Every structure is written in C-alpha cells, then in structure tokens.
C-alpha cells in the first residue's frame, strides 16, 4: 500500500505550501497472463477501482492497439485514472490524479492489483501537483529543486549504452494457426524471412525436426545458425504455441521480430522477454 516513508513518496514541497492535487504512478508487474487481452475487461477494472475509491466517474475511453496493447482513461470529477498495458510483458502503468482528499488511493491501488492479478505492485511516485504558496510562505516553488531521472524507452539506446556481448529474446506466440505450426516448410520460410527482416546472415540449412511421441510435447523443433549466433524454436501441437528464441551478438529489434512472428503464424497474442548478455 502507499508508504509515505518510502523515498519515492517524499514530497518536494513541504506542508506549508498548498497543492491543488495529488498524483501517484503505479507499476503493475507479473500480472495474470490474460489480464490485458480484453479491452473491456481492463476498462471494467479501471472503472471498478475508481468507484471503490470514492471517485465520481464522468466518462471513460479505451483503445486496443494492433497487434496488442491497451490504453485508456477514466475521467472523474476529481481528475483522472489512466492506464497503458503491455500484454507481452504482463505489465501495466497506471496514473491516478485527484484534486480531492475524498479519494482513497489505497483502495484504488489494491482494487487494480486484484483485477490485474499482479504479483508485484510498485508505487513508483507519490507527489503533490499545482503548488499554491500561502501568504506567509516566502519561498517560491522554484526554490525547491526537483530531481528527475529517466530510463531509456528504447532497447537500442540501452544496448548502445550498456554494450553487452549479445541480445537474447524469447518469444511466446499463443493460439497460432494449427496448420501453420505443423508445416515444416512454413517454419523454414519463417526463419528465412525473419533473418531478412532483422538483417541476420544465415549459415547452413534451417533444421526442422518433428519430436515427441508424448502428446504433451509433440511438435516441430527448429534451429538455424546465423552469423551472429542462433535462432531456435519449438512449436507445441497441444497448445498451438510457438516458442522462439533469438540470440545475437549484433543488435536487432526484439519487438519487430515478435510482431513478425505473430503475423506469420497468425497468433492471437505474444509474450516477449528481452535480456542483455554480458
């Protein structure tokens, strides 16, 4: 819950200065695997959190992005609740802004944690907004230095900054077209076209072999050597899921690879994990 003793919850301007509003940002991590696949479900969760917290809901607007992702806003009489969700990372960023003391932030945070099935919820900031100095207050708001920090929004920028030895991506493509993942020729064509897309030079043939007498593991497995390392994958017949791994000591764009795989195998959604290898 909201811990006012935490470093990120410290207010830059002390109590002698009035604030017009309060804003918190919340990181919902390790959420349920299907928490953000249904736009109406995300909207319902946000509306429920607003109502439970005591906010007066005015309107709401939500949008599903292609191939996946949800953004939305619940306008309340006291300000707003906003969300952007990344289904591929089981993650959502939530912003709650209120100009009223009547809204219970703890209740709102907990309601969304439950709805999103988040196993790791972090309140990344808790701050006052819109400073109004009282007549007895001589210091200006600008006299209080505000420290800000920025994290990179680009894997390429972070890759350039860290200079790791390699980049590893794990792609899980769910609910693929059954006929496509059971077609060795289609899988080989995918590998060839993917290498062209991410500008990787292939070495040797793409090996696609059928494994698994047990129905729980049956499906094609694939390997392809590339100039900068390896592409591999397994295509599970039981669940119609494609598990693809790309490892390269030269940069490529992970999201581009994931979205191409999603389109190629006609999947419904994907999960993406990215790691820099030192």
Q: How far is it, in rounded angstroms, from Cα 123 to Cα 113? A: 11
Q: How far is it, in rounded angstroms, from Cα 85 to Cα 89? A: 9
Instruction: Return the half-sphere exposure (C-beta side, CA atoms, 13 A cut-off) of residue 146.
Output: 10
Task: Please give the positions annotated as active site.
Answer: 79, 84, 99
Q: How far is it, in rounded angstroms, from Cα 175 to Cα 34? A: 13
Eight-class DSSP state of 152: -
Q: How far is it, in rounded angstroms, from Cα 116 to Cα 22? A: 23
Q: How far is it, in rounded angstroms, from Cα 63 to Cα 43? A: 9
Phi/psi class of residue 213: alpha, beta or left (left: φ > 0; alpha: ψ in -120 to 50)? Answer: alpha
Q: How far is it, in rounded angstroms, from Cα 240 to Cα 237? A: 5
CA angle 204, 222, 219 (to 5 degrees): 155
Contact yes or no for 156/250 (Cβ under 8 A): no
Cis peptide before 67 (omega within 30 of 0): yes
């Amino acid at each position: 819950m909201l811990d006012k003793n935490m470093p990120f919850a410290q207010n830059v301007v002390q109590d002698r200065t009035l604030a017009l509003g309060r804003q918190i940002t919340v990181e919902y991590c390790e959420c349920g695997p299907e928490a953000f696949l249904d736009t109406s479900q995300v909207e319902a969760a946000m509306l429920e959190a607003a109502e439970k917290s005591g906010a007066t809901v005015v309107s709401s607007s939500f949008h599903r992005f292609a191939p996946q992702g949800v953004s939305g806003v619940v306008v309340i009489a006291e300000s707003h609740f906003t969300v952007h969700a990344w289904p591929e990372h089981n993650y959502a960023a939530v912003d709650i802004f209120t100009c009223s003391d009547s809204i219970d932030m703890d209740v709102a945070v907990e309601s969304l944690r439950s709805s999103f099935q988040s196993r790791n919820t972090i309140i990344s900031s808790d701050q006052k907004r819109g400073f109004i100095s009282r007549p007895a207050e001589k210091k200006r708001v600008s006299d209080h230095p505000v420290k800000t920090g920025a994290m990179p929004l680009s894997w390429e920028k972070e890759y350039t900054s860290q200079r790791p030895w390699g980049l590893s991506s794990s792609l899980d493509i769910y609910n693929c077209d059954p006929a496509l993942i059971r077609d060795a020729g289609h899988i080989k064509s995918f590998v060839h076209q993917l290498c062209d897309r991410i500008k990787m030079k292939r070495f040797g043939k793409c090996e696609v072999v059928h494994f698994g007498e047990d129905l729980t593991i049956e499906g094609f497995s694939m390997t392809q050597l590339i100039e900068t390392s390896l592409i591999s994958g397994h295509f599970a017949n039981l669940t119609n899921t494609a598990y693809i791994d790309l490892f390269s000591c030269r940069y490529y764009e992970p999201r581009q690879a994931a979205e191409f795989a999603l389109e190629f195998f006609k999947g419904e959604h994907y999960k993406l994990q990215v790691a820099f290898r030192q």
